[in-house]
């Protein structure tokens, strides 16, 4: 290609780059917006997860204190686990104490539902 032929192509190349520039900028802007949106969502999910964990810890603490302060459930082998406001009770206790623990759990602020997995047994008196 001669020198004059190359010069004829130059305006076309400049025009092509000038027209493509805004398209590239728009694409980059869109990608930045998508990245911001993804970051914002991730931060929101992290905050919600932290808030839920703190709430679950509060529920567990309140419930354990209530079970400790109740005459029927005090000293029983009852364990509390809370996940998303759902309380799971496990361990071993007399039927009456297991039922009482479930009732106390349902009445605890923030509890969504209760899974009573306490293995109930008949209470044994000291005379047996």
Give this prediction's pTM. 0.59
Instruction: Quick: pLDDT tens for 64-98.
Output: 999 999 999 999 999 999 999 999 999 999 999 99
Residue 83 lies in a domain: yes
Longest dimension (CA), the chain: 116
Residue 23 lies in a domain: yes
Residue 99 lies in a domain: yes
Instruction: Quick: pLDDT tens for 37-66.
Output: 676 666 666 656 665 666 889 999 999 999
| Residue ranges making up the domain that contains 86 | 3-121
Residue 127 lies in a domain: no
Residue 40 lies in a domain: yes
Domain count, the chain: 1
Residue 112 lies in a domain: yes
Residue 128 lies in a domain: no
Residue 87 lies in a domain: yes
Angle at the Cα of 44 (from 40 to 45), degrees rounded to 5?
120
């Amino acid at each position: 290609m001669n020198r004059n032929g190359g010069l004829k192509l130059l305006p076309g190349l400049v025009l092509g780059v000038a027209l493509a520039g805004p398209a590239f900028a728009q694409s980059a802007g869109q990608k930045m917006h998508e990245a911001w949106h993804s970051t914002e969502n991730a931060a929101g999910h992290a905050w919600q997860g932290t808030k839920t964990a703190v709430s679950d810890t509060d529920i567990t603490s309140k419930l354990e204190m209530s079970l400790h302060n109740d005459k029927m459930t005090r000293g029983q082998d009852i364990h509390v686990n809370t996940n998303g406001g759902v309380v799971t009770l496990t361990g071993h206790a007399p039927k009456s104490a297991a039922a009482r623990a479930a009732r106390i759990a349902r009445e605890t602020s923030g509890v969504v539902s209760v899974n009573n997995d306490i293995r109930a047994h008949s209470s044994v008196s000291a005379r047996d």
